[in-house]
Structure 1
C-alpha cells in the first residue's frame, strides 16, 4: 500500500505575480534646458529652402527648357539643346559641328582662377603663419586688419583700383616720376587678375590662420632643438597642421574666382571673355535664358565634384576640413 503525501496548500503570498513588461515611453523626451525644439527652427528652414535651394532648383529647371522665338524667358518644353550648344553648333542646313568657343571661355576662366588661387596661397601662408605666432592681442588686431576690406562694398573697392591703375593714377604718376613713362594697366587682363587676387586674398588668409592659431609652436621649437632645418619643420610639422585650412581656402578662392564677374568687366574692360561675363550676357544681351542656366549648372556640378573630393580626402586622411572662414 502506497502512502501519498498530502498536498500542500498554496499560500497566496508565495505565488509570484505575473511579470509585466514595461512599455517604452514613446512620448518625446523633453528638451534640455536651453535647447529648442524643431518647431523653433521651422522659419529658418523655410527661408533657407526658399532663398537658397529654390533659386538653384529654378536654374536647373530652366536649363532643360526651350528658348522662345523672341525675347527672354523660357518655353516649358523639355530639351537638351542648351547643353548640346555648349559643345556643338548647328547651321541652317542642320549640320552639327564641334564648337570649342565656350571651352576656350572655360579655359580662360580656369586659368585666371588657378593663377588667383596660387598667388593667394603663396602670399597667404607666410602671412597666416606670422599672424599665428604673434601674441593674442596682436593676433586679434591683425585679424581685424585682414577683415577691414569686408567693411566696404566690392564695387567701391573695385572702383578704387580703377582710380589707382588709370593713366592719371598713383602707379602711373610714380612711374612717370621715376622716368619709366606711363604704362597701360587699366582694362587689361593684368588688371583683372590683380583685382581677383586683391578681392579673394582674405578668403585664403583666414582659413589658414584658423588652422594654425591653436597650434602649440613649442613643438616646432623642439624640432629646431633636435637639429631639424627650417624647411623640414615647415614640411613635416606646420604644413600637415595647416592642410585643412589650405584646402578650405583653395576652394573658397578658386570657385568664386572662376565665376567672377565684377573684376573682369570693370578692371579688364570686358576684353577677356570669362564664364561670368558669358552667363551675364546670355541672361542680358542674348536673352538666352536656358543656355545661361545650363552654364550655371555646369559650374554648380564642378563645385559639387570639388566638395565630394574634399569629403573623400577628409574621410581617408582623418582630418576634418571645414569650408568656412
Structure 2
C-alpha cells in the first residue's frame, strides 16, 4: 500500500527543517532586530535604546526625505517603462525565433547574471567616461567631419555622474528581469489566435496591440513588478554612475548606517522602503486576482 505524501510528515520535516532554520536564523531574526531598531534612538556612541518611538518614521516622511522617496520612485518607474519598451520587442523576437536561435538568444539574455554587478557597472563606466569608447568614437567622427567643414574645438560629452547615467545604468542592469517574464508569457500564447487575427484582416500592428499585448498582460505585470522593486532600492548604480543630485533612497539609507551612525533612522527608512515594496506586491496580487475573476466569468 502506497503511503500518501500528506501522511509522510517526517519526510517533509526533514526536508524543510534545515532551510527553515537557516531562513529564521540568518534572515528573519536580523530583520526583526533592524525593525526593532526603527523604534529606538541612539543611546551613546554604540548603544541603541528601543523605546517604541515613532519619531524616526515621522522624520523619514519630512519633505526633504519624502522628496528623495518620490524621486527614487520616479527613476524606478522610468527605468521600468524603458525596460518594458525595449524588452517587449526583444521577448517577441525570441518567441518567434527558430528553435536553435532561440536557445542562443536566451543565453545572451541570461549571460549578465553570470557576471558580478560591480564588474558590469565598471564596464559601463569605461564606455561612458570622458575618455571612454563613446567619446572616443564621437571624437573620431568629429575629426573626420572637421576636415570637410570646420567645427571648432572638440568637446567631449558629459555622459557620467548625472541622472541620465543612472537611468541608463539601471536599464542596463534590470533589462533581463523584464525580458524573461515577457518571454515566458509570450511563449505560451496560442499562435492560432494570431493567425486568425491576421486572416481576418487585422494586420500585424493591430494584432500586436489587440491580441498579443492583452494576452501577455500577466507577463507584463510580473516583469514590471520584478523590475520596479529592485530599481527602487538600487544602491550601487546611483552610487557609481550618479552625481551629487542623483542619489536615491538606498544611498541615503547607507549613509545613515555608515557615516551618520544613526541606525534607528536608517532602519526606519529601510522599512518604509520595504512597506512600499509590500504595497506594490499587494496591488499586483489584487489586480491579478481581479483579472482572473473576470476571466472566469
Superposition TM-score, scaled by structure 1 size: 0.81
Moved over 3 A (4+): 29-36
Q: Does 1:216 align with 2:190?
A: yes
Aligned match for 1:175, one of 132, 138, 143: 138
Aligned match for 1:164, one of 111, 116, 127: 127
SS at match of 1:67: strand
In structure 2, what is the Cα distance between the partners aligned to 1:241 and 1:54?
41
State the Cα distance separating 1:154 from its structure 2 match: 0.3
In structure 1, what is the Cα distance between the partners aligned to 2:160 and 2:46?
33
Aligned match for 1:64, one of 30, 35, 39: 39
Deviation by residue 1:226-278 (Cα, 9 ceiling, x = unmatched): 11132321223211221111111111111111111111111114442310110
In structure 2, what is the Cα distance between the partners aligned to 1:102 and 1:247?
29
User: Structure 1 residues 113 and 31 mapped into 2: Cα distance closer, same or farther (>3 Å)?
Assistant: closer
Q: Figure out how many residues of one structure are paired with residues of the other and give that number.
A: 279
Deviation by residue 1:259-309 (Cα, 9 ceiling, x = unmatched): 111111111144423101100000011111011011111111111111111
In structure 1, what is the Cα distance between the partners aligned to 2:189 and 2:7?
34
Q: Does 1:111 align with 2:74?
A: yes
Residue 276 of structure 1 is matched in structure 2 by 250
Return 5+ residue gaps in structure 1 as ranges: 1-28, 88-98, 320-325
Residue 259 of structure 2 is matched in structure 1 by 285
Q: Does 1:53 align with 2:16?
A: no
In structure 2, what is the Cα distance between the partners aligned to 1:292 and 1:62?
9
User: Structure 1 residues 137 and 155 mapped into 2: Cα distance closer, same or farther (>3 Å)?
Assistant: same
Greater gyration radius: 1
Q: Does 1:195 align with 2:158?
A: no
User: Structure 1 residues 288 and 72 mapped into 2: Cα distance closer, same or farther (>3 Å)?
Assistant: farther
In structure 2, what is the Cα distance between the partners aligned to 1:133 and 1:50?
46
Deviation by residue 1:72-98 (Cα, 9 ceiling, x = unmatched): 4522322111012123xxxxxxxxxxx
Task: Provide the alpha-carbon RMSD of the alignment.
Answer: 2.0
Residue 102 of structure 2 is matched in structure 1 by 139
Q: Does 1:127 align with 2:90?
A: yes
SS at match of 1:101: helix
Q: Does 1:309 align with 2:286?
A: no
In structure 1, what is the Cα distance between the partners aligned to 2:97 and 2:176?
18
User: Structure 1 residues 33 and 144 mapped into 2: Cα distance closer, same or farther (>3 Å)?
Assistant: farther
In structure 1, what is the Cα distance between the partners aligned to 2:247 and 2:129?
21
In structure 2, what is the Cα distance between the partners aligned to 1:31 and 1:193?
49
Residue 222 of structure 2 is matched in structure 1 by 248
In structure 2, what is the Cα distance between the partners aligned to 1:250 and 1:137?
28
